[in-house]
């Protein structure tokens, strides 16, 4: 299995704190239902950062220069499609804080603001010799910007063979997952304002590869190595460019 399948999207466990933090950072995260008449519930909101802001991104364990530059380059693949600026720094002072000695994981968007300031909000254990290093880093930064796993899109309807999926992830030697972790990472669909505006995208870089061995019938999805057209659309919805002022 590809390392991308080991990505753990981490969300803050206190829904009220996560909700309040997201709205405080970016009031647009509250969203509205389709048609714009009903305010969204506590669990039905998004977590993108305030549009137009600079995100400070800190390397807290001083990776070697080559690895650091590869991470910067992969993360920066998102910049043409968002109205944000990245400021990469050393140390622990950052909105996003990267450690490079553990598995691959990221807090979802503004949930990073709730993490203790001395702790990482993103782990990039993948090493530069991995053939999909750039893909994995870009994927994790997608989460940091507020993008969910695409295979959890409510329209996905992947025909998982759930007993096989549980057995595979629970019994493997490297990075086993509990049943609850499998549910959260593979089965639990999401509902956010952004999801209303973007259809399910099997080509998304935020989609895990899916093995035919873990589904019913003949259903599989390869690893996606490029930011797709719908990924770009989603990011532009979350972080729209400001229109130029005319005199």
Give the domain 3-238 fold. Answer: Collagenase (Catalytic Domain) (3.40.390)
Q: Which of 20-34, 87-101, 142-156 comes out lowest in average pLDDT?
A: 20-34
pLDDT given for residue 1 in this prediction: 47
Once rounded to an integer, what is the mean pLDDT over residues 105-131?
Answer: 95
pLDDT given for residue 190 in this prediction: 84
Once rounded to an integer, what is the mean pLDDT over residues 109-116?
Answer: 97
Query: pLDDT for 202-239, tens place per residue?
Result: 999 999 999 999 999 999 999 999 999 999 999 999 99
What does each C-alpha distance from 151 to 148, 183, 196, 208, 223 come to in angstroms?
9, 12, 15, 7, 12
- Contact residues for 41 (Cβ-Cβ < 8 A; gap 6+): none
Q: How far apart are CA 73 and CA 126, in angstroms?
A: 15
- Asked if pLDDT for residue 12 goes beyond 60, the answer is yes
Q: Which of 4-8, 33-37, 111-115, 180-184 comes out lowest in average pLDDT?
A: 33-37
Looking at the DSSP bridge assignments, the partners of residue 58 are: 89, 97
- Asked if pLDDT for residue 135 goes beyond 70, the answer is yes
Query: pLDDT for 230-246, tens place per residue?
Result: 999 999 999 998 754 44
Q: Scanning the structure block, which residue is given the tokens 């959260």?
A: 184
Tell me which residue of 88, 34, 38 sits closest to 60, measured CA to CA.
Answer: 88
Domain boundaries, given as residue ranges, for the chain: 3-238
Query: pLDDT for 32-87, tens place per residue?
Result: 443 333 344 455 688 999 999 999 999 999 899 999 999 999 999 999 999 999 99
Q: Rounded to the nearest 10 degrees, how much is the dihedral formed by the CA atoms of 108, 39, 52, 244?
A: 150
Q: How far apart are CA 24 and CA 8, in angstroms?
A: 25
pLDDT given for residue 127 in this prediction: 92
Q: How far apart are CA 112 and CA 49, in angstroms?
A: 10
Of 176 and 167, more confident? 167
Q: How far apart are CA 178 and CA 55, in angstroms?
A: 33
Tell me which residue of 207, 154, 141, 192 sits closest to 4, measured CA to CA.
Answer: 207
Ranges 78-87, 100-109, 147-156, most confident? 78-87
pLDDT given for residue 117 in this prediction: 93
Are residues 50 and 87 in contact, defined by beta-carbon separation less than 8 angstroms? no
């Amino acid at each position: 299995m590809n390392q991308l399948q080991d990505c753990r999207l981490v969300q803050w466990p206190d829904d009220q704190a996560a909700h309040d933090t997201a709205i405080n950072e970016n009031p647009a995260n509250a969203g509205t239902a389709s048609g714009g008449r009903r305010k969204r519930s506590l669990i039905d909101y998004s977590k993108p950062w305030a549009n137009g802001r600079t995100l400070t991104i800190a390397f807290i364990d001083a990776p070697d220069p080559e690895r650091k530059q590869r991470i910067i380059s992969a993360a920066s693949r998102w910049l043409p499609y968002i109205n944000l600026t990245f400021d990469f720094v050393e140390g622990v002072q950052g909105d996003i804080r990267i450690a490079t000695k553990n598995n691959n994981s990221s807090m979802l968007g503004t949930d990073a603001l709730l993490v203790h300031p001395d702790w990482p909000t993103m782990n990039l254990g993948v090493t530069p010799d991995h053939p999909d290093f750039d893909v994995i880093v870009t994927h994790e930064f997608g989460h940091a910007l507020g993008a969910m796993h695409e295979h959890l899109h409510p329209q996905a309807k992947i025909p998982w063979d759930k007993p096989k999926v549980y057995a595979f992830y629970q019994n493997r030697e490297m990075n086993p997952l509990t049943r609850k972790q499998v549910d959260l990472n593979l089965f639990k669909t999401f509902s956010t304002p952004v999801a209303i505006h973007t259809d399910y995208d099997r080509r998304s870089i935020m989609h895990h590869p899916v093995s035919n061995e873990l589904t019913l019938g003949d259903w599989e999805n390869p690893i996606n190595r490029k930011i797709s057209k719908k990924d770009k659309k989603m990011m532009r919805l979350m972080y729209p460019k400001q229109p130029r002022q005319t005199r």
